[in-house]
Amino acid sequence: MAPSLMLPKLPMTPFRVMALVLGVAAVCLIFSALTTSGREQKLGKVFDQISKPYKRDTSGRTMAEPSFWRNFDFTSEKIPSQVTNAAPLVKVTNNTINIMGSNTFYREAQPPEGVASSGEVVVLLHGAAFQSKTWLDLNTINLLAAMGHHIIAVDLPGFGKTQSAQIDEPADYLHTFMTSLRITQVILVSPSMSGRFSIPFIMKYPEDLGGYVPVAPVSTSLIVPDASKLSVPTLIISGEKDQGLGHTSRDDLLNIPSSQHVEIPGAKHPAYLDDPILFHTLLYNFINQVHAHRAIA
């Protein structure tokens, strides 16, 4: 007599009953999928998606990617004619606000009617021989506003229409000015003497900056020890003939990984005065790129 295979009898606990029911249901679902027209491909795709590891899309550049800011051509696009045509339509207002005991004067402009706002805020500082009116006379305020940006040009303490005041913490002065106006992530343009304010500011409040445009500023030696930690997009501008502060500030600021230096041919220390067209073109392209990268960061 052939030996019989004796299977042990297992008690049918509620857990085993549930497992059996789920197993039968799973088999039925798979069989149905495989025998229904077109389901084979769908099921295969599901299995493929499950088996593939998740990959983050890193095709878009971020604000902190140094290689882009080092290599981009900030003269690549000319300022469109519609911008220059809209510039005369810009309305510039004069305002005063008390900041840390300094009755600070500033000029402000918004995009004119018919020009869409970019949402970018550009703050214009000035050198020792200049004031906010310099940017008005140079047409910088009007052009930048006609590009769609919110523009603020300030008279620093002791210059222009701002009374003198003892400012022990220049970084805090700028920070208080910006928070009082409820602006942040600004693009800060800082020539010469104003580096006394902007350099401490970028070191203490880098999160308040969307971009930095130093034009041969003072005090740049202060930034060297910590420059490698900064990720603020920085466009360094100097004049070809400014071989003193222009060279020193350039060498110091190039320690910022996300920085690039552009020299304006034939220009002296206030390089923007010698070639305002090139200067405005640089600003146009730089601000456009900051805006574009902010959107994908």
CATH of the domain at 132: 3.40.50.1820
Model confidence at 129: pLDDT above 60: yes
Residue 105's H or E segment, with its range, is strand 102-109
Q: Is residue 105 part of a domain?
A: yes
- Tally Cβ neighbours within 10 Å of residue 46: 11
> Regarding predicted confidence, which is higher, 254 or 41?
254
Catalytic-residue membership of 192: yes
**257: in domain:** yes
Residues facing residue 108 across a β-bridge: 93, 152
What one-letter code names the amino acid at 190? S
Phi and psi dihedrals of 112, rounded to 5? Answer: -70, 170
3-state secondary structure of 222: helix
pTM given for the model? 0.79
Domain total in the chain = 1
Q: Average the pLDDT over 28-45 and give the result.
A: 43
261 is catalytic: no
Would 49 be classed as within a structural domain? no
pLDDT above 60 for 265: yes
The one catalytic residue in 149, 150, 269, 291 is: 269
Measured in Å, how far apart are the chain's first and last C-alpha atoms?
A: 80
- Structural domain of residue 181, as residue ranges? 78-296
Cα dihedral 112, 113, 116, 119 sign = positive
**Among 118, 192, 198, 249, the one annotated catalytic:** 192
- Residue 137 falls in the annotated catalytic set: no
Catalytic residue among 155, 208, 242, 252: 242
Q: d(Cα 185, Cα 195) in Å, to the nearest integer?
A: 18
What is the C-alpha separation between 23 and 28, in angstroms, rounded? Answer: 9
Lowest average pLDDT, out of 9-18, 55-64, 102-111, 257-266, goes to 55-64
Report if residue 71 sits inside a domain: no
Question: Position of tokens 């469109």?
Answer: 80
Element spanning 204, H or E: helix 195-204
In a domain, 66, yes or no: no
Helices 39-51 + 14-35 axis angle, to 10? 120
Residue 55 lies in a domain: no
